[in-house]
Amino acid sequence: MGPLSKLTVAARGHGHSTRGQAQADQGIVINMESLGGQVMQFNTGQLPYVDVSAGDLWINILHESLKHGLAPKSWTDYLHLTVGGTLSNAGISGQAFRHGPQISNVHQLEVVTGKGDVVNCSEKQHADLFHSVLGGLGQFGIITKARISLEPAPKMVKWIRVLYSDFSTFSRDQELLISAEHTFDYIEGLVIINRTDVLNSWRSSFSPQDPAQASKFISDGRTLFCLELTKNFNPDEVDTANKEVENLLSKLSYIQSTLLMTEVSYVEFLDRVHTSELKLRSKGMWDVPHPWLNLLIPRSKIKYFAQGVFGNILKDTKSGPVLIYPVNKSKWDNRTSFVFPEEDIFYMVAFLFHAVPSSAGTNGLEHFLTLNKRILDFCAVAHLGVKQYLAHYTTQEQWQAHFGQRWEVFTQRKSTYDPLAILAPGQRIFQKRASIL
């Protein structure tokens, strides 16, 4: 329609961004899932991978890969998200300490740029576009295909939870585990504030082998920290897996009586949030506002953050799950568009609030937005060097501050690949230009 058109275009993955990032006001929204369902092409050689459509859901990639005894290496906690949607952000979960985020586990992309060029890109070919698009918030092109790295898939998972009452001990153990060579396969953590039910939340249904023992744990209003771990194994390796788990657990300083363990299939574990989704949907509690806040916090500041936020700002909140776990920066690639703190270890902290629609009380949307603001203000005043993940800002100045020194590169890439700012206007980073002049 030419440079004078105000038309914008947004790719919509599964539409799970919480602030309309996949929308285009008065523009065109492309349903990327309509590209899905094509046959996935597997290479099962020494370094296995699969070529998928960017509109494919990760859950479908898992099921197809398992038919070849393979699976992707790095996940999100919830798999009913598209490849294009998570690669435009990062894709972070409890495997990221070892493999990096999903954007560190892609070999090649096919991208339609904002200029309409269809480009195959990788580390070796059009590398700048490849890195721009990864974590690029949909700003430079629409990903149409991706080549995802795979590994041999285990059949089973030992799923473990242990509790701590002291934050320093908890985080020291987490860091010990993510730094060790032989360690668990998934490492996350949860903060339990004011909850009597310390075991389950909407985030996952964890059914320990000994429910009677589990029911004894009552948080009694205390703040507790739950370390969540898994060890992958195949049925013929059960003795070795048991020994490894025992050995690793013996190095940790959790409250001894709080060890809870279960065994589930690899698919059940990876798809754990969907089980809860189905329950919530049946009660009409899934499609409610989710004022989430995700922060990446440098290791050197995490204790101060925990004291101020868990011990003060959230002290009286019944808040919904709060995740906290460290990752190794060495597994992240700073040539991508993704920005992260400049320390060797940083923490992912996710406040996964959900609000009761129309409530004006402490379970309402306004209340959680105020809490989010208080947390962000606390970080800003104390100069914690925090970066938001899945960030939402309303002005370009805020985005500029978010990108910091990387802003110049980000804007250069924009003018190279989408000079009219047609793409992903819902991120509110650039305004559609009516003309290049």
Ligand X SMILES: Cc1cc2nc3c(=O)[nH]c(=O)nc-3n(C[C@H](O)[C@H](O)[C@H](O)COP(=O)(O)OP(=O)(O)OC[C@H]3O[C@@H](n4cnc5c(N)ncnc54)[C@H](O)[C@@H]3O)c2cc1C
Residue 17 touching ligand X (CB under 6 A)? yes
Residue 8 touching ligand X (CB under 6 A)? no
* Angle, alpha carbons 408-398-421 (nearest 5°): 60
Contact with ligand X (CB under 6 A) among 36, 48, 72, 84: 84
Cα atoms in the Cβ-side hemisphere of radius 13 Å centred on 200: 16
Region binding ligand X by CB under 6 A among candidate stretches 79-87, 151-159, 238-246, 250-258 = 79-87
What is the nearest approach in angstroms of ligand X to the Cβ of residue 70?
Answer: 21
List of E strands, 299-407: 322-328, 345-351, 387-389
Residue 337 touching ligand X (CB under 6 A)? no
Q: What is the DSSP secondary structure assignment for residue 313, as one 8-state letter?
A: I
Which residue blocks in 21-166 are alpha helix, DSSP H? Answer: 58-66, 83-87, 96-99, 127-133
The residues assigned a catalytic role are: 16, 77, 188
What is the nearest approach in angstroms of ligand X to the Cβ of residue 149?
Answer: 17
Residue 149 touching ligand X (CB under 6 A)? no
Please list, in sequence order, all residues whose beta carbon lies within 8 angstroms of the beta carbon of residue 222, skipping any fewer than 6 positions away.
165
Residue 293 touching ligand X (CB under 6 A)? no
Contact with ligand X (CB under 6 A) among 62, 103, 129, 142: 142
What is the nearest approach in angstroms of ligand X to the Cβ of residue 255?
Answer: 26
Contact with ligand X (CB under 6 A) among 65, 76, 132, 336: 76
Q: What is the DSSP secondary structure assignment for residue 124, as one 8-state letter?
A: S
**Spatial distance between the Cα atoms of 180 and 330, rounded to a whole number of angstroms:** 14
What is the nearest approach in angstroms of ligand X to the Cβ of residue 109?
Answer: 9
Region binding ligand X by CB under 6 A among candidate stretches 138-146, 205-213, 298-306, 401-409 = 138-146
In contact, 384 and 301? CB cutoff 8 Å:
yes
Residue 15 touching ligand X (CB under 6 A)? yes
Region binding ligand X by CB under 6 A among candidate stretches 15-23, 189-197, 205-213, 240-248 = 15-23
Which contiguous run of DSSP H or E holds residue 157?
Answer: strand 156-164
Which contiguous run of DSSP H or E holds residue 248?
Answer: helix 238-250
**Spatial distance between the Cα atoms of 277 and 286, rounded to a whole number of angstroms:** 7
Contact with ligand X (CB under 6 A) among 12, 73, 195, 354: 12
Please list, in sequence order, all residues whose beta carbon lies within 8 angstroms of the beta carbon of residue 333, skipping any fewer than 6 positions away.
100, 103, 104, 131, 134
* Token digits of residue 379: 């970080």
Residue 426 touching ligand X (CB under 6 A)? yes
Residue 88 touching ligand X (CB under 6 A)? yes
Residues that bind ligand X (CB under 6 A): 10-17, 21-22, 32, 54, 76-78, 81-82, 84-86, 88-93, 137-138, 142-143, 273, 390, 424, 426-427
